[in-house]
Structure 1
Amino acid sequence: MFWRSVVGKLAITILLLVCFVLFILSIFLLQFFENFHVDKAEEEMLQTATKISYLVEQQEDKQFIHDTGDLIKNPSSRVAIIYPNGEYWLSNTTDESLPELEKEWISNDQDLMKVLTSDTEIKQEKILTNRNTEAIIVGKPITENSGIFVYQSTEEISQTKAETRKIIYLAAGVAIILTTFFAVFLSTRITSPLIRMREAAHDLTRGEFNTKVPILTHDEIGDLAIEFNRMGRQLKFHINALRQEKEQFSSIVSSMADGVVTLNRNGDMIVTNPPAEKFLENWYFENNSDSQELSKRLPTELNQVLQEVIGGEEKVLREIAIQGRNYVMLMTPLYDGSHVRGAVAVIRDMTEERRLDKLRKDFIANVSHELRTPISMMQGYSEAIVDDIAESKEEKNELAKIIHEESLRMGRLVNDLLDIARMEAGHIQLNKEKIEVEGYVERIIKKFQGIAKENQIELTLSKDIDFSTATFDPDRIEQVFTNLVDNAIRHTNENGFVQVSVKNNQETFDVSIEDNGSGIPEEDLPFVFERFYKADKSRTRNKKKKGTGLGLAIAKNIVDAHKGIISVNSKINQGTTFTLKIPHK
């Protein structure tokens, strides 16, 4: 609104100040001119009375005195002469409303009698009783019991006062109008740069730091505009510096291998990097929570540690196991002066270190265990043949067959170990081809339909193929399919299901193999792709068919050779899902 703006306030202040001064000045002027007109009239009438008194004293011709008195007096006034002999004369007047001043009325008025008896001049305003008319009367003594009275109506003076009052009011009105105009003009000239500064400040709040205020004057407002522009440049410089530091900090945090989570005192997550988001996603999956709660709900473990950090104001170290992965979290308090305003948690995935430790401990034991059984069997059965325990040819052939099968099993084990060694050394040879995805996948799944029906398991295939072809080594990928589907069937009970989902677009070839079988224990999840991994064999439905524990390790190395990703999610007695993603390039 205009009244709330600087222009309005300044203009109204100037206008009120001028109006107040004009009001006081008008009162004094009106009072002055009112008294001035009365005094002027009394002075003129007293001069007239004095002149006539001279005539009376010097002239004996009364007619001459009367004619001269009519000439020198104001036409609207009257002159009354009381001669020493008591004769009374009253002049004519042009003011018809002015009554005659009778001699008896003079005799009855003490003030007027002072002129005749006390030789005193008078100047008074009186109301003439015979006409109830207000008049100004001036008395001039001549000799004892004689004097001259000049009087006129105050109406003429009132008209003069009214005209004077109109002139004063008109001058005041013109002064107020001019003051209003110049007040608004001056306020606008003063506030126009301020308005531009306000608009520039609004632009600064929106991030437009290149905004400049034009310098229109060289006074204080011009200096203010110069300082405002300097402030804008400094603010832009500091904001850019802060932005660069923030981007640098964000890049550093995002590129860290460890997860970083910044928390305030209320437990709100302010900053997270990709490893920390992966940790949180695993936690939500573990606790059957929606992943969209990532920015809303703080994991219980982090919240407990946060409260401990805020309460003790010391860093806290914790180990957390989620989805079979081992995490070490170090949470340190963040200070605002001496007050703890939050905490920063650094989360490191120690699964690989734990895996290497376990691998070093289990490798020799696993190899020894896998080789000891077939060697023992071959040794025992060969001794039976040498010692002629098997007498008949059929028995010797049966023992020789068992020895042959165990030797084949040892050969497969050694070949798998050699394959893994070559793959891990980077010596794997891939023969990539452009494959028609739909026919390729259907052929592989069809190969397992008989086994699935035999074990009363529903094997289904779902396809979402936007791009018909994919580039990979068909033999190696079929080996991955065979291993994963065979494992799913072997670990699924009767009347269960195994669902294979294939999705192919212009960028990746995605496969998901899901079953509702026995699942994998949480503590075994980090090691499923390791050599000689075998889950609890009591959960394997087909106990006659045993593996070497190298299939998933080979599958992972094949997918890694294709620069792809293979992962697993599992829950006990609910099922397992293996997912692999292979890029076309």
Structure 2
Amino acid sequence: MMWFWRSVVGKLWFTILLLVSFVLFILTILLLKFFENYHVQEAEKELTQLATKVSEVMHEHTDEELGRSIAWTLVGDMSKAVIIADQVHYWYSPANTRLRDLPLSLIQKDDDLQKVLTERKQIKKKMYLPNIQVGDDRYGQLLIVGVPLETADGKHGAVFIYQSLQAVEDTTQQTKKLIFLAAFIAIVLTTIFAFFLSTRITAPLRKMRQAAFEVARGKFDTKVPILTHDEIGELAMAFNQMGRRLQFNINALNQEKEQLASILSSMADGVITFNRDGEILITNPPAERFLQAWYFEQGNEAEVMAPLPPQVNELFARVVGEEKEQMTELTLQGRTWVILMSPLYNQTAVRGAVAVLRDMTEERRLDKLRKDFIANVSHELRTPIAMLQGYSEAIIDDIAATDEEKKEMAKVIYDESLRMGRLVNDLLDLARMEAGHITLNYKTVQLAPYIERIIRKFQGLAKEKQINLSAEWKDENIEMTIDPDRIEQVLTNLIDNAIRHTDENGTVKVIVERSGDGVTIHVQDSGSGIAEEDLPFIFERFYKADKARTRGRSGTGLGLAIAKNIVEAHKGMISVHSKLHEGTTFTFYLPNATHES
């Protein structure tokens, strides 16, 4: 029931009912007062007219008996009259037995009634007479009207007619009952009408409320039926327009949100948004990887677990405090991150910050490679340049005494110039390969004669060092589509390295086997091997596992890096397995190309 009084229907119904009840109450009070005064005034008017007629009858008839008879007839049963001719002659209406006689002494003692006799005035008065019976009650109120009287024989007296107000009150009570009945019927009808009116008025409002709940639950296509063309109908129309506009705006916001989320998730840089308290609000996948690296580095101990590294917290504090862009760099799990943090403003105040995290690991690695490259090139060029300069000065200064010594010096200068040329060419090839500018000229070749031809180039060097150089075939009928010149460069480098690092009476073997739709080639030697700590870096530029090589046995340190790039350009892979004093095996896999050029 409580919901009814809290609803618009209940409030409107109660307001109308209260207003009508109040109006009816005021109207009832006024009507009761009006009818009560009206009945009293009518009674006074009737009694006055009756008293005047009695006075006239007594004045016109010289026969007092006849005059009184007519007067008593006029008075009737409802009223009682007293006719006073003088102090000793007075008569009461004998026909009326409901009212007792009015004592003459009371008339003589009452100043107002006495004025009828003394001043010849007409008097109307209500009197409460405790010793006079009024109707069935002992006590009551009388309405007395007095008019002057002049008899036919010239005596001056008065006619007093009095009547109990009980009759007036009875009439008034009947009127009250009718008024109360009418008021009750009016209230009942008002209640029904108010309830009907309130429900009719609030029915569209209830539908709008239900529609508002539906819109609040996300059903923005909910429509309110337009039943009228008044203000409520206009309100329903405005509600429908609001729903359509809201649907449009939310769709636009969702599209913009999805677009921003797509942009954020597809960014290569990490993004973290903080509120004023430093709590994380939004992250994207690269930022998640940064946080996971921090959590992993912190371990699983709850007491040391922190949501962000202390460097980031300090950076956030500086950004919020100084309201300026700040930057820092830190390393997590072997990766280098550069963090650029800027304040976020809410109109004029700082409401948080946004951090952009860039993974600079590759840039730092390339920067280190650049520095190492410059250092290695400088180191590699220093020796031949110094030798060229030294032997050239020796020739210029005629230090060489004989032609043989001069030829020997010239031979050293020539060899060093060739070495510098090879170094420069290798650097140019490697730079083009790493930049993705390598061009492969594919041809279909039979591997057996192709590799035999390459091996024959090294047979003289192998015999000179008393090394057994051979090829082993698991399948001699292998045909491949490759760039023969580039693969020859790879095999030449691997076989040359194997012969140079194999002692006398050792073996170098090239093993060829089919592997799926491609081929796997092993270059195996029984040489000195490579230390385990050097294996991860063997394919890097200028890296030399043998730190004690002599100048005559030393290469440029670029051969394996070039070989790796050539193999990967063929969509293949290369690896190495080695153990000190037990030999080395280089293995590379080449898939069969799907096109020819």
TM-score (norm 1): 0.62
Which of 65, 68, 76 aligns to 2:67? It is 65
Larger deviation, residues 305-314 vs 191-200:
191-200
From 175, 187, 193, the equivalent of 2:186 is 175
1:531 is the counterpart of 2:539: yes
Give the SS at the match of 2:4.
Answer: coil
Q: 1:561 to 1:193 in 2, by over 3 A?
A: farther
Q: Partners of 1:187 and 1:416 in 2: how far apart?
A: 104
**Aligned position for 2:146:** 139
Indicate if the aligned counterparts of 2:129 and 2:142 stay in contact, CA closer than 8 A: yes
Match of 2:345 among 315, 322, 335: 335
Q: Which amino acid aligns with 1:179?
A: T
Of 276, 279, 284 in structure 1, the residue corresponding to residue 295 of structure 2 is 284
Q: Counterpart of 1:227 in 2: which secondary structure?
A: helix
State the distance in 2 between where 1:216 and 1:37 align: 53
Match of 1:345 among 355, 361, 365: 355
- Determine which of 236, 247, 268 is the counterpart of 1:236: 247
Q: Could you tell me how far 1:86 is from its partner in structure 2? A: 4.0
Gapped regions of structure 1 (runs ≥ 5)? 370-399, 419-427, 434-472, 477-486, 492-523, 538-549, 564-585
Conserved 8 A contact 2:80-2:96:
no
Q: How many residues align?
A: 420
- Which aligned pairs between 1:323-472 and structure 2 lie closer than 5 A? 323-359=333-369, 414=494, 431=515
Q: Distance in 2 between matches of 1:430 and 1:273?
A: 45
SS in structure 2 at match of 1:142: strand
One-letter amino acid matched to 1:299: P
Deviation at 1:70, TM superposition (A): 3.1
**In 2, Cα distance between the equivalents of 1:562 and 1:13?**
90
User: Equivalent residues in 2 for 1:198-217 (5 A)?
Assistant: 198-217=209-228
For residue 87 of structure 1, what is the aligned residue in structure 2? 89
- In 2, the alpha carbon distance for the partners of 1:116 and 1:156 equals 28
Change (3 A) 1:189 1:95: farther
* Aligned-residue offset at 1:474: 13
What does the per-residue CA deviation read over 1:331-372, in whole Å, with 9 as the maximum and x for residues that have no partner?
222222222222221211121222334445557999999xxx
Q: Match of 2:35, SS? A: helix
8 A Cα contact 2:294 2:308, kept in partner: no
Distance 1:299 1:230 in 2: 51
Write out aligned runs for 1:123-272 (5 A).
123-131=124-132, 132-143=139-150, 145-272=156-283
Instruction: Give the match for residue 332 of structure 2.
Output: 322
Give, in angstroms, the shift of residue 112 of structure 1: 2.2
For 1:196 and 1:429, the matched residues in 2 are separated by 82
Distance 1:348 1:404 in 2: 56
For residue 227 of structure 2, give the secondary structure of its aligned residue in structure 1: coil
**Conserved? CA contact 2:58–2:68, under 8 Å:** no
Classify the secondary structure of the residue corresponding to 1:213: coil
Match of 2:345, as an amino acid?
Y
- Offset at 1:251? 0.6
Secondary structure, counterpart of 1:146 in structure 2: strand
Amino acid at match of 1:124: K
Q: CA deviation at 1:199?
A: 2.3
* Aligned-residue offset at 1:285: 0.8
Between stretches 149-158 and 4-13, larger displacement belongs to 4-13
Q: Deviations over 1:443-479 (max 9, x none)?
A: xxxxxxxxxxxxxxxxxxxxxxxxxxxxxx9999xxx
Please state if 1:300 is matched with 2:310.
yes
TM-superposed deviation, 1:48: 1.0
Q: Is 1:107 aligned to 2:89, yes or no?
A: no
Distance of aligned partners of 1:67 and 1:299 in 2 relative to their CA distance in 1, 3 Å threshold:
farther
Q: Distance in 2 between matches of 1:19 and 1:429?
A: 110
Structure exhibiting the larger radius of gyration computed from Cα positions:
2
- What is the alpha-carbon distance in structure 1 between the residues aligned to residue 195 and residue 497 of structure 2? 96
Distance 1:76 1:280 in 2: 111
Q: 1:416, CA displacement in angstroms? A: 12
CA shift digits 1:519-546 (9 cap, x unpaired): xxxxx9xx9688359x9x9xxxxxxxxx
Pair 1:312-2:322 in alignment: yes
**Structure 1 residues 167 and 174: CA distance shift in structure 2, 3 A:** same
- Work out whether residues 76 and 96 of structure 2, in 8 Å CA contact, stay in contact via their aligned partners in 1: no
Secondary structure of residue in 1 paired with 2:247: helix
Q: What is the one-letter code of the residue matched to 2:361?
A: T
Q: Secondary structure at the match of 1:298?
A: coil
Q: Could you tell which deviates more after superposition, 207-216 or 358-367?
A: 358-367
- Superimposed CA distance per residue, residues 148-181 of structure 1 (whole angstroms, 9 cap, x where no aligned partner): 1111111111111111222222222222222233
In the TM superposition, what is the alpha-carbon distance from 1:138 to its structure 2 partner? 0.9
Where does residue 123 of structure 2 map in the other structure?
122
| Preserved contact between residue 204 and residue 232 of structure 1 (Cα < 8 Å) | yes
Confirm whether residue 21 of structure 1 aligns to residue 29 of structure 2: no
Q: Secondary structure at the match of 1:178?
A: helix
Q: CA deviation at 1:65?
A: 2.6
Contact kept, 8 Å, 1:76 with 1:93, in 2: the verdict is: no
Match of residue 11 from structure 1: 13
Distance 2:157 2:571 in 1: 147
* Other-structure match for 2:436: none
In the alignment, is the contact (CA less than 8 A) between 1:86 and 1:146 conserved in 2? no
- Offset at residue 82 of structure 1 (A): 1.8
| Matched-pair contact (CA < 8 Å) for 2:80–2:163 | yes
Aligned to 1:567: none
State the percentage of identical aligned residues: 49
Q: Within 2, Cα distance between the matches of 1:210 and 1:199?
A: 13
What is the distance in 2 between the residues matched to 1:260 and 1:429? 50
Q: For 1:298 and 1:365, how far apart are their aligned partners in 2?
A: 38
Separation of aligned partners in 1, 2:204 and 2:8: 12
In structure 2, what is the equivalent of residue 76 of structure 1? Answer: 78
CA distance change for structure 1 residues 74 and 18 in 2, over 3 Å: closer, same or farther?
A: farther
TM-score calculated relative to the size of structure 2: 0.61
Deviation at 1:266, TM superposition (A): 1.4
CA distance in 2, matches of 1:71, 1:280: 121
Deviation of the 1:244 alpha carbon:
0.5
The whole-number CA distance in structure 2 between the counterparts of 1:244 and 1:415 is: 61
Q: In 2, distance between residues paired with 1:176 and 1:41?
A: 33
CA apart distance, 1:209: 0.9
Q: Is the contact made by 2:126 and 2:142 (CA closer than 8 Å) also made in structure 1?
A: yes
